[in-house]
Structure 1
Amino acid sequence: MARDGARPAYDPAGPDSALRTALQEVRTGRWMSMRTLLAETATWGQWTQRTQILAAAAAGTDVVRAWLAEEPDSVPAVVMQARVGVERALRAARDDHRRTQELWHEAWLASDTASRAAPHDPVPWVCLLALARLDREQRWDEHRVAPPEPMLPPGPWGLLAQAHKRDPYNREAHHRMVQFLYARSASGRLAEAVGFAHWAADGAPPGSALHVLPLYVRVERYRRTGGRDAALDLHWVAEDATREARRAFQGWFELTTAAERSPLDLNHLAHALWSALQFPEAARVFDAIGPYYAPLPWACRTSGPADHAQAVDVFLQARARSRSAARRP
């Protein structure tokens, strides 16, 4: 399947078939498969990823509320309540909904409750980090803590430290920190996010998904220009872009198994390697992606970022070119 020429489709569960089954149940208002899946989740990394994806599906339903009504002492249900609350608050903020403040407050309370109900779980702290981006004026003291190094900006470092304490180098926690810095530089050049991403990658151990983080910031920088600046195209093939792509390939991809890799990270890495003309390495990553395409980063290379069909076309062209070049002697 990994090497075929089939047109891919987006699936939030990726290769996680157990998660896919639970998502189907959640969308129909049933929670038993979700409870079973979370009870069988073995690592904090997988727990973080599964709770995030489940919350995105559950946010438009009352399925977690129904679970809590049946099992009010369930710690996973309490954590999922926080996840769903955060998802709803972030959606409301994105849509400039009149209930954003109310939903933000509810989500914060649910996350605080979860942090006490599950003291060893990084997810409640990831939830609080996710909400930090809504405090655009940084009125909350916990969102403007001094950084661990002088070259880094102030921010919710205490929240990141709490997540790190429970799950060192937690992938989502660091992505949430980057999103906080994006929100703070809504019209800027993302210098703070660039600096943070490289700091996180520099300190991450071999095999950590944080080695892929700088690739996300590079895509965001391009996305913010709308791709209109022709000179910016050079940043895909510049020396630092090539170095970032190869570092992620060598420091993450080559040191991990298929089960440890997020489809989002794989797609960002394939895009970066293809963009930097590193075709043999890109071909290997495309093989690992198989059918588990993700709209970003491919959508940023289209004339209409909301046109998913066009994004798939870019993906297919990049895959075909990488594989063709990789086969040449």
Structure 2
Amino acid sequence: MPARPSYDPAGHDGALRTALQDLRTGRWMAMRTLLTDTSGWSQWTRRTQVLAAAAAGTDVVRAWLAEEPHSVPAAVMHARVRVERALRARRERHRRTHELWIEAWDAAQSVAEAAPRDPVPWVCLLALAQLDPEQRWEEHRAPPPEPGLPPGPWGLLTEAGRRDPHNREAHHRMLQFLYAIGSPDRLAEAVRYAQWAAASAPPASALHVLPLYVRVERYRRGSGHDAALDLHWVAEDASREARRALHSWFERAPRAEHTLPDLNHLAHALWGALLFPDAARVFDAIGPYFTPPPWMYRTPDRARAVEVFLQARDRCHAAAGGA
């Protein structure tokens, strides 16, 4: 039987794991080397995001920037860390939230000028948009690209897309903005947005998984672990979304581009849709790692997310003849 999985933000990225271990001991050289060796905007975006989440509670990036004040990667990480701290402050209702937000916005704007071809500064600005749920800032209420979509930070999304078309994190940040705004129709708007983004994405794009995230959010807000809501996952549209993500993303994208959150959401959707043999293939790709979302929303005790994962994995492997 496969081993009991663990949560690791680096997932299958061994080089990122090494840099994270160094970062947690207060050192930045491995992070510097990793980012210097990173190729492609997709990997760059992902690695800087994970590193920032680990660095936000430390002074490691500030030490790096003090040592190398003209380093563009250090400036990018500085903006990333500022954004992460502002978002955490908002979640914790910290009294310095607005101050941290403005500091993060300034850092992102500065690095956008220093690294004009990098999508990450624009992803940072998109992430900060959720701190403006009333859409008071003009850049957060731009008209949408087509009818049926709400006003929002479309200009920021466009700028990220110019540098890295169909950037995965940029679209997830747009979803977070839609969840945050005060519209009573925000979940329906999120559904339309995810469908629009997936429909316009090329084969192998991770955006084909985006509707599965919205489906999890709808389930979570609908009362979550209520067993009656299991019908949510076997509905025809849910099965169709799961199959589309399987065929358009999982089977076409290089394995190195399979992010752990996307794999977990796809396995969860296929399992919920009773497509067990297909789900078993995705569980095999997940390997020894898992992510608490979406599994933790299927149990009243979120600490048991790994148990839900194991039950689903065992059921799918059994159906596929692997047990």
Global fold match (TM > 0.5): yes
Partner of 1:311: 305
Q: Of the candidates 132, 137, 154, which is equivalent to residue 151 of structure 2?
A: 154
Matched, 1:193 2:194: no
Q: Secondary structure at the match of 1:255?
A: coil
Q: Secondary structure at the match of 2:320?
A: helix
Length, aligned pairs only: 322
Matched, 1:20 2:20: no
- Counterpart mapping for 1:86-97 below 5 A: 86-97=83-94
Q: Of the candidates 56, 80, 83, which is equivalent to residue 53 of structure 2?
A: 56
TM-score by length of 2: 0.97
Deviation of 1:232 after TM superposition, in Å, equals 3.1
Partner of 1:181: 178
Distance in 2 (alpha carbons) for counterparts of 1:293 and 1:169 = 25
Deviation of 1:170 after TM superposition, in Å, equals 0.2
Matched, 1:139 2:136: yes
Q: Secondary structure at the match of 1:190?
A: helix
CA 1:185–1:214 in 2, change beyond 3 Å: closer, same or farther? farther
Distance in 1 (alpha carbons) for counterparts of 2:116 and 2:208 = 28
Distance in 2 (alpha carbons) for counterparts of 1:27 and 1:187 = 41
Q: 1:256-295: CA deviations, max 9, x gaps?
A: 2221100100000000000000011000000000011110
Distance in 2 (alpha carbons) for counterparts of 1:212 and 1:326 = 23
Distance in 1 (alpha carbons) for counterparts of 2:288 and 2:14 = 13
Distance in 2 (alpha carbons) for counterparts of 1:7 and 1:76 = 36
Q: Is the 8 A contact 1:206 1:251 kept in 2?
A: yes
- Counterpart mapping for 1:201-220 below 5 A: 201-220=198-217
- Counterpart mapping for 1:268-307 below 5 A: 268-305=265-302, 307=303
Q: Give the gaps of 5 or more residues in structure 2.
A: none
Matched, 1:320 2:314: yes
Partner of 1:261: 258
Matched, 1:70 2:64: no
Distance in 1 (alpha carbons) for counterparts of 2:200 and 2:286 = 26
TM-score by length of 1: 0.96
Q: Give the gaps of 5 or more residues in structure 1.
A: none
Q: Secondary structure at the match of 1:249?
A: helix
Q: 1:15-45: CA deviations, max 9, x gaps?
A: 1010000001111111110010000000100
Partner of 2:106: 109
Distance in 2 (alpha carbons) for counterparts of 1:208 and 1:31 = 32
Q: Is the 8 A contact 2:201 2:207 kept in 1?
A: yes
Identity of aligned residues (%): 72
Q: Is the 8 A contact 1:14 1:292 kept in 2?
A: yes
Distance in 1 (alpha carbons) for counterparts of 2:88 and 2:81 = 11
CA 1:228–1:23 in 2, change beyond 3 Å: closer, same or farther? closer
Q: 1:35-82: CA deviations, max 9, x gaps?
A: 100000001000000000000010000111101111000000011000
Distance in 1 (alpha carbons) for counterparts of 2:297 and 2:155 = 33
Deviation of 1:189 after TM superposition, in Å, equals 5.9
After alignment, is 162-171 or 225-234 more displaced?
225-234
Q: Secondary structure at the match of 1:29?
A: coil
Q: Is the 8 A contact 1:302 1:311 kept in 2?
A: yes
Q: Is the 8 A contact 1:189 1:221 kept in 2?
A: no
Q: Of the candidates 121, 125, 135, which is equivalent to residue 128 of structure 1?
A: 125
Q: Secondary structure at the match of 2:224?
A: coil
Deviation of 1:241 after TM superposition, in Å, equals 0.1
Distance in 1 (alpha carbons) for counterparts of 2:10 and 2:253 = 19
Distance in 1 (alpha carbons) for counterparts of 2:147 and 2:217 = 24
Distance in 1 (alpha carbons) for counterparts of 2:74 and 2:35 = 10
Distance in 2 (alpha carbons) for counterparts of 1:238 and 1:76 = 45
Distance in 2 (alpha carbons) for counterparts of 1:232 and 1:324 = 24
Tell me how large the CA RMSD over aligned residues is: 1.3
Q: Of the candidates 7, 11, 17, which is equivalent to residue 10 of structure 1?
A: 7
Q: Is the 8 A contact 2:133 2:182 kept in 1?
A: no
